[in-house]
Structure 1
């Protein structure tokens, strides 16, 4: 998961669809490190659609009105939230959801931390909310000592 400012400036020469990842160069990343970000099948399809929409664009999130990249996702995100009737939701909330889903599906906290770009797993633990059902599933793996 990356920060929106990193996505807004992402260029196609840093997207490697054939290998299912993209690169956030050190000059754009939050902690000044070059990071390789894997993409899943849904992300792959979204990237392909964006490429088909503007095949000659330099930027992935290309704004045809300004002939450069979008400066913010805020307006479009707000409209999408309103249309979906989800309620109060911020872009940053998606990071929490991303982390929670991964943890609940058994992805180790270190890997979730790496995907989020955190330097310490303690930061990630604040994002990774557990559902009561997930915690019940966790204790079911304990052996029975009653016979």
Structure 2
């Protein structure tokens, strides 16, 4: 049984990669261009780990609670390696924004202002936004954690949204292009932005001189800026819609200020003749009172 489960996991492919290929294939068919060959992309270790954890819990329940199995198979769940966090300094982010053409520029600004994932931004509808209350929300079926996410809209996010008003009755972020009518004439049309449209993004990165940077790294940038500004990890978890605090701890090293007082304890051990500055300040404050 274990071997069959592992074999099935090895056959898992990246669903989003397949969906993006279908979109490109459909676009090629409409334009009369040859359809690119589909090459499956293996699912990530993290995706496989999630599925294996669910299967492991299910089999354990079948043994211990439902009494359907005498002994549940032993399932080992691989631990995904924590990848490095790639984020931009504010001046780098501004350089990237300046090189992005519209509507990509608005999308990038909105991503940096809210920390939303690319798919959530592209699929954002006006019915998910309340400009008066300055809030937006991501529905459970659209979030990675399968839970609704409330998004507080800051001034930057509101400014970006106001620029999009009137462009489309349903979708927030759209682009304009000319389409050919049956009679051969050209006419402007408004379309929803595509998730897999990377040409303008890669060109903007190249012009801005930024290497090794993905669109999802804008979310890392947003989180990194907030942590460095002193936002608690528990608050960041809620703002970003992360499922567990462990997923947010990868940003903790960016703001180790809360560890400073503890780190100073070693001073009194290595240099007993030198007074601890933090303790001296505390004593001075006490005397003043």
Does residue 143 of structure 2 align to residue 29 of structure 1? yes
Partner of 2:205: 81
Does residue 152 of structure 2 align to residue 59 of structure 1? no
CA distance in 1, matches of 2:123, 2:256: 39
> Larger helix proportion, structure 1 or 2?
2
The answer to which structure, 1 or 2, has the higher relative contact order (CA under 8 A, 6+ apart) is: 1
Q: Deviations over 1:120-139 (max 9, x none)?
A: 11111114551xxx546862
Shift of 1:144: 2.3
Cα distance, 1:20–1:76 mapped onto 2, change above 3 Å:
farther
Partner of 1:139: 260
Does residue 247 of structure 2 align to residue 123 of structure 1? yes
CA distance in 2, matches of 1:37, 1:15: 9
CA distance in 1, matches of 2:252, 2:169: 36
Partner of 2:153: 39
Greater CA deviation, 101-110 or 30-39?
30-39
Determine helix, strand or coil for the equivalent of 1:67. Answer: strand
Point out where structure 2 has 5 or more consecutive residues left out of the alignment: 1-114, 178-188, 265-276, 284-289
Cα distance, 1:67–1:27 mapped onto 2, change above 3 Å:
farther
Q: Which has the larger radius of gyration?
A: 2
CA distance in 1, matches of 2:198, 2:259: 38
Point out where structure 1 has 5 or more consecutive residues left out of the alignment: none
Q: Deviations over 1:37-58 (max 9, x none)?
A: 1121111101111225x1x431
The TM-score normalised by the length of structure 1 is 0.80
Does residue 124 of structure 2 align to residue 10 of structure 1? yes
